[in-house]
Structure 1
Amino acid sequence: MPFNSGAPGAGATALSVTQINKQAGDLLGQVFGVVEVIGEISEHKRAASGHHYFALKDEHSQLRCAFFRGNAQRCAHPLREGEEVVATGRLGIYTERGAYQLIVQSIAPAGEGRLAAEFERLKQRLLAEGLFAAEHKRPTPTMPRRIAVISSDTGAAIHDVRVTLARRLPLARVTLFPVRVQGAESAGELRQAVSQLTSEAFDVALIVRGGGSLSDLWSFNDEALVRALYDCPVPVISGVGHETDTTLCDLVADRRAATPTGAAELATPITASDMRQGIGRLADRARMRWEARQQTQAQYLDGLSRRLERAGPVERLRLARSRLVGLAAPLRHGIERRIAQGRERTHGLRRRLDGAHPRRQLEALRGRLVEPASRLHQGMVVIGQAERERVARLSRGLLISRERLMPRWRARLDSVRLDPRSFERRLREERTRLAGLSRQLEALGPRQVQKRGYALVETRDGSSGVLVKRASEVSVLAGTHDRLALNLRFADGDVPVEWRKPDSGASSS
């Protein structure tokens, strides 16, 4: 049960043990960041999960460390009890125990670790000063004639460089500056060799060495040597170590090669074979240009000869005679064509004039009227005869009906005796009934509905219109047409309107 002092709100802002351990671990990581710790491995244990747990100790203290499986698998250096190493990682707190520890990211032997840390610090400082900036890199010549090589005079590196330069550019003069490339005095000798390079004596310089460990290549990370290469007046190509090796000389040099042989190849981009091929191409191009020039001059001379021949009086007279003949033939053809066209036009006008003469038009009209007049006469004769027969037939029918119905109606009239008073009374009743029906008809008629604001919709197609009762009838009456003329009949007059299909514009106007 948690302790409570009894004061109001006591413990409201208190942190749990887990929270304080987590916050303390986060604070350690933020304050220290990534750190490097040197010490001796002790109490090393490898768990079944693949994680490593050990302590780094010195003469007075120890620090618990956790090296998790993912980082441990990437570490090429095995952990040995009692070995001095440099561990890189972040400080934190193991929450469950509240134990202060180092979460290790990588481990290196103590000697290599110091050199790597020194290399990284020097690299960052020189990088901040701009010694490795790309804008300070100078171009190397495409065909150098004087090449300086700074390297050991023994070993495979200088042999590979000499063989490569002799094969690719045998005309180049190669000057070797023999120096030691490893050991305490090697950096000074390298600086002394670089100081002897001048732009008057050399076109490009190579600084090369074979592969080795970081300590073997450490002379090429000397700060004074890096600054000497930066100030060197001759473009420098660095070929130190193998492909995976990187030194500060590689970073400050104008060009970097993976190997000494690669540095020699970079120094000679144009080889003797390339020059022989180039000379051959230039010779072929010169020969082709000479042959083309000879052909051009020959054509030019031929043209001058023809021009000289054309400039003579005989040739000019012949040309003038040919031009005259050539002009006469088109002129004659043109006149004949114009005369033929005039004749055709005259014939056409004459035919049109004959066709438009009043006599011919009158004859054509008479011919067109003969047949209709004949048909009209025959039709009138046939219709007159048919009407006469019809009248005669109707007359006979009326006479027969009269003879048949007269006795019957005469008998009925004799049997009917009209009373004037009852006839008048019946007449008044019928008139009264007729007046009532008229009022009902008028009340139910469209006029009264129209007076209340309604209108009748009719089609507007000539003298008679069709009453439209439903909206669906409009499109039916319109049929295939896009429009339909309608009439709105109000009590006081008509208003013509027009219906249009919805897809062709407004529905009415």
Structure 2
Amino acid sequence: MQPSSRDVLTPSQLNALARGLLEDAFPVVLVEGELGNLSRPASGHLYFTLKDARAQVRCALFKPKSQWLPFQPREGLRVLARGRLTLYEARGDYQLILDSLEEAGEGALRRAFEQLKAKLQAEGLFDAERKRPLPAYVRRLGVLTSPSGAAVRDVLSVLARRFPLLEVDVLPVPVQGETAAAQIAAMLARANASGRYDALLLARGGGSLEDLWAFNDEALARAIAASPTPVVSAVGHETDFTLADFAADLRAPTPSVAAELLAPDRRDLLTRLAGLQRRLQTLHLHRLRNAMQRADRAALRLNALRPQARLRALRERQREALRRLSAAWRARADRDLAALRHADAVLRATHPRRRLALLRERLAGLAPRPRAAIVRQLQREALRARGLARSLEAVSPLATVARGYAILRHEDGRVVRAVADARPGDRLDARLSDGHLRVRVESPARDEDG
């Protein structure tokens, strides 16, 4: 039986129908396999095949998704590809157009981590309100870690340097492997049951996501969140995050940083202790002075209430009043005696002979004073005249003449100050330091600068 003309398809029609069937049947697929035939042309797209032991499929990851991969694709790497199945009509090849590409092992773990994290976060297991604050000073610390790892050595070294008085117990647990999470949770429960520790530190060094996977266990995260003792998590490096970090009361970037957060610096404590001691001494001295002042005031009040003390005080006041009265009488008598003596002196001074003698003595004392005043006045005037003479000499034209210059005058006495003041044929008088010269102007000349 021959097919009709309407059942005959062209290659392009066939490929278009096949493409539609493939895209409708496989909208999104996840394929795990090994990378092969890896190619990255100048366009920036990434072409490769995903293969296993029996088959392979072509794949394409277009730019810019290919530029933001978190890993470097290489031949033989096992990956997990997510995309849609389609058919390239020009060649009739079917292929995967990818939306994402990740390493198979770590990618699966990362998805599991994100799903479990979202679940526990929705339950409020990571809420900040649930977390317990650390004690101000930790006296006993339990460190859950491997006893042979580098993390425990770092922690113990920092604690010994910062605060040697801190009691530290290393609680040995495996930090990697299938049973590690269960053993860590069991040790955490025993540490809480002992009631010995003020805080617990969960520590481990860095590693890959697979190495740290024990700390992403759901049961362990719930045990950390339910711990009555505050838990500090220091797992991996600063960029590593685990569910234990989110469930713990405090997350430290590294085990060494966790030790610094848990142990105070002894130098800071010594400085603070010295300051508190100074404050205590100052407060003690202040209270002691106040107590002594109150005691003195009480003793004074007590003595004031005794009759003998009041009698002594009255007698002392009486003696003081008598002393003041006697002093006042003596002062008044002295003033009266001085007044009498002054009056006697005045009476004696009023006698003519006595007054004449006093005037002569006064005149004899005043006689040298005018002469001395005249001498001082003459000296001042002489000094002033010498100063004026020096000033006049400084501005005198004769001083200028004495230095080798001459003063030119017309016959009528006018001073020649400029070349324009003299004409040819004028007769001038030149005043020099030792006489006069008669000169006749031939022709005026000016300086070269003029």
Q: TM-score, normalised on structure 1? A: 0.50
Deviations 1:352-395 (A, max 9, x none): xxxxxxxxxxxxxxxxxxxxxxxxxxxxxxxxxxxxxxxxxxxx
Match of 1:187 among 168, 181, 187: 181
Q: In the alignment, which residue of structure 1 is the partner of 2:429?
A: none
**Contact map agreement 1:65 1:104 (CA 8 A) in 2:** no
How does 1:282-431 map onto structure 2 within 5 Å? 282-300=276-294
How does 1:18-29 map onto structure 2 within 5 Å? none
Match of 1:217 among 186, 205, 212: 212
How does 1:97-116 map onto structure 2 within 5 Å? 101-105=96-100, 107-116=101-110
C-alpha distance in 1, partners of 2:269/2:218? 40
Aligned residues with identical type, % of pairs: 40
C-alpha distance in 2, partners of 1:164/1:279? 22
Please give the secondary structure, in 2, of the residue aligned with 1:39. strand
Letter in 2 for 1:119: F
Match of 2:59 among 58, 64, 69: 64
Shift of 1:138: 0.6
Please give the secondary structure, in 1, of the residue aligned with 2:192. coil
When residues 38 and 309 of structure 1 are mapped into structure 2, their CA distance, relative to the original with a 3 A threshold, is: same
Shift of 1:133: 1.4
Q: In the alignment, which residue of structure 1 is the partner of 2:152?
A: 158
How does 1:42-53 map onto structure 2 within 5 Å? 42-53=36-47
Match of 1:130 among 124, 130, 143: 124
User: Could you say which structure has the larger radius of gyration?
Assistant: 1
Shift of 1:207: 0.5
Q: In the alignment, which residue of structure 2 is the partner of 1:176?
A: 170
Please give the secondary structure, in 2, of the residue aligned with 1:148. strand
Please give the secondary structure, in 1, of the residue aligned with 2:286. helix
1:143 and 2:105 matched = no
Letter in 2 for 1:259: T
Q: In the alignment, which residue of structure 2 is the partner of 1:205?
A: 200
Please give the secondary structure, in 1, of the residue aligned with 2:34. strand
Shift of 1:274: 3.0
When residues 132 and 102 of structure 1 are mapped into structure 2, their CA distance, relative to the original with a 3 A threshold, is: farther
Q: In the alignment, which residue of structure 2 is the partner of 1:267?
A: 262
Shift of 1:153: 0.5
1:39 and 2:29 matched = no
Q: TM-score, normalised on structure 2? A: 0.56
Match of 2:67 among 60, 67, 73: 73
**Contact map agreement 2:201 2:231 (CA 8 A) in 1:** yes
Letter in 2 for 1:240: V
**Contact map agreement 1:240 1:260 (CA 8 A) in 2:** yes
When residues 252 and 68 of structure 1 are mapped into structure 2, their CA distance, relative to the original with a 3 A threshold, is: same
Give the total of aligned pairs. 291
Shift of 1:72: 3.1
Match of 2:229 among 206, 223, 234: 234
C-alpha distance in 1, partners of 2:57/2:123? 38
**Contact map agreement 1:56 1:65 (CA 8 A) in 2:** no
1:277 and 2:281 matched = no
Match of 1:86 among 66, 76, 80: 80
C-alpha distance in 1, partners of 2:277/2:25? 75
Shift of 1:254: 0.6
Shift of 1:38: 2.7
Letter in 2 for 1:162: L
Letter in 2 for 1:68: K
When residues 63 and 126 of structure 1 are mapped into structure 2, their CA distance, relative to the original with a 3 A threshold, is: farther
Unmatched segments (≥5 aa) in structure 2: 1-15, 318-450
Q: In the alignment, which residue of structure 2 is the partner of 1:386?
A: none
Shift of 1:67: 3.5
When residues 280 and 116 of structure 1 are mapped into structure 2, their CA distance, relative to the original with a 3 A threshold, is: same
C-alpha distance in 2, partners of 1:137/1:75? 36
When residues 92 and 128 of structure 1 are mapped into structure 2, their CA distance, relative to the original with a 3 A threshold, is: farther
C-alpha distance in 2, partners of 1:84/1:113? 10
Shift of 1:168: 2.1
C-alpha distance in 1, partners of 2:249/2:286? 45
C-alpha distance in 1, partners of 2:295/2:218? 74
Please give the secondary structure, in 2, of the residue aligned with 1:196. helix
How does 1:458-497 map onto structure 2 within 5 Å? none
**Contact map agreement 1:242 1:258 (CA 8 A) in 2:** yes
C-alpha distance in 1, partners of 2:97/2:112? 22
C-alpha distance in 2, partners of 1:79/1:240? 28
Shift of 1:310: 9.2
Please give the secondary structure, in 2, of the residue aligned with 1:276. helix
Unmatched segments (≥5 aa) in structure 1: 1-17, 319-509
**Contact map agreement 1:197 1:233 (CA 8 A) in 2:** no
Shift of 1:296: 2.9
**Contact map agreement 2:45 2:60 (CA 8 A) in 1:** no
Letter in 1 for 2:232: I
Letter in 2 for 1:131: L
